[in-house]
Amino acid sequence: MSNRLIKLLRICGILLLTVALSACGRLAYYAHSINGHLTIMSQRQDIDKLRKDPKTDAKLKQKLHKVQQIRRFASKELLLPDNKSFKKYADLKRPYVVWNVVAAPEFSVKPKTWCFLFAGCISYRGYFSKDKAQQFADKLKAQGLDVTIGGVTAYSTLGWFADPVLNTFIHYPTSRLAGLIFHELAHQKIYVKSDSAFSESLATTVELEGTRRWIQRYDSNVNFQSYLERKNRQRRFVVLIQKYRTKLERHYEKTQSIKEKREGKKSMFRQMQAEYQILKKGWGNYSGYDAWFSRDLNNAHLASVGTYHNYVPALQKLLRRTRGNLQAFYREAEKLAALPEQQRKQRLQQINSHPD
């Protein structure tokens, strides 16, 4: 029995003891999570062996070779953890690894949170089954909450286990694949429990910088300007969502009737849809966000966007201050991670407001 499996079984025991006196629903959720993770771990195959196997699809072999290049780059050039993560491959036979459920009250854009033993408190609840995610979402809707479900192609165990490369993202364009691996490894480098905004913003900052360096050195077929344009569209999308989150927050705080709150809510979502159409025209009718806006949007959709980007500008300034020296940047990031949450937030705001 491997040391990792022994560790997992110990953790499973701790989790089950922790929730033994809790509601059956929580116990069932932990059992589902443990089983889902064990299933993924059992499907892993060594990438070197797959590349040598004549039965392996040629396109998959090429992608696995790229993954190995990206993985070496991540450790040597970006100083990310040199461990066993992303050195094995698993085909899950499904498009997403997990489905996240996000919920918010009818008149609030602050998401509901769930607290877990190792990850801390987070603003979503993940399921390895779409049906189970839908069942949980339906229960939350019955409580009067705004709810959304989103499929996720990758997730991190934060260094507890050797995360595999998955079929859910292996066929991404190489620059996007590299960014995803850099992002997940950054979580293993620095992660603050119960502060998703900081942890995700830090991983996103490393992802952006790492992808820029990867493209410049190894992926000459990719136009870096096109990459920046795609990231800029993503940034503008997030800015638009955050704008209406703020407007809705102010709307909900007003003293008014339930009817007035609901009518104002509908009006603001229509305004956001209209503003997106203007933004889209400025992008030459780029349709990458059409599916997102075509849904029956609610507070949960807005709450699900933003934590990956809130502190990215401040952290990018911090990276520039270190003149791109990642070792120095990580030291500064670790100092921020060690602060109490409110002090960390204030410090990031100070960094962002100070000119370069």
Sheet holding 88-90, edge to edge: 45-46, 88-90, 165-166
Determine, yes or no, domain membership for 252: no
Same domain membership, residue 56 and residue 194:
yes
32 and 162, same domain (yes or no): no
Percent of the chain with pLDDT over 90: 71
Nearest to 332 by CA among 204, 342, 320, 183: 320
Residues 35 and 142 in one domain: no
Question: What is the C-alpha to C-alpha distance for residues 140 and 104, in angstroms, rounded to an integer?
Answer: 9
Structural element, H or E, at residue 289: none
C-alpha pair distances (Å), 96 with each of 62, 65, 168, 234, 296? 22, 22, 6, 21, 22
Contact between 277 and 290 under an 8 Å Cβ cutoff? The reply is no
Name the domain count of the chain: 2
50 and 132 in a common domain? yes
* pLDDT digits 0-9 by tens, 197-251: 899 899 999 999 999 999 988 876 766 777 778 888 988 998 999 999 999 999 9
Residue 130 lies in a domain: yes
Overall pTM > 0.85 = no
pLDDT tier at 309 (50, 70, 90 boundaries)? confident
Instruction: Looking at the structure, tell me whether residues 9 and 141 fall in a common domain.
Output: no
Angstrom distances, CA of residue 111 to CA of 129, 144, 264 = 22, 14, 20
Same domain, 12 and 108: no
Q: Is 46 helix (H, G, I), strand (E, B) or coil?
A: strand
d(CA 193, CA 160): 14
pLDDT score recorded for residue 21:
36
Q: Give the structural domain span for 127.
A: 45-217
Question: Looking at the structure, do residues 23 and 50 belong to the same domain, yes or no?
Answer: no
Mean pLDDT of the chain: 88
Q: Does 52 share its domain with 135? A: yes
Q: At which of 217, 237, 263 does a domain end?
A: 217
Q: Does any domain span residue 59?
A: yes
Specify whether 62 is located in the same domain as 107.
yes
pLDDT at 185 over 90: yes
87, 196: one domain? yes
Residue carrying structure tokens 């992008």: 283
Is residue 109 assigned to a domain?
A: yes
Read off φ and ψ for residue 34, nearest 5 degrees: -65, -45
Instruction: Looking at the structure, tell me whether residues 96 and 22 fall in a common domain.
Output: no
Q: What is the pLDDT of residue 7?
A: 45
Task: For CA atoms 200, 201, 202, 205, give the dihedral sign.
Answer: positive
Per-residue pLDDT averaged across 9-22, rounded? 40
pLDDT value at 121 more than 90: no
Return the closest-CA partner of residue 77 out of 283, 325, 343.
325
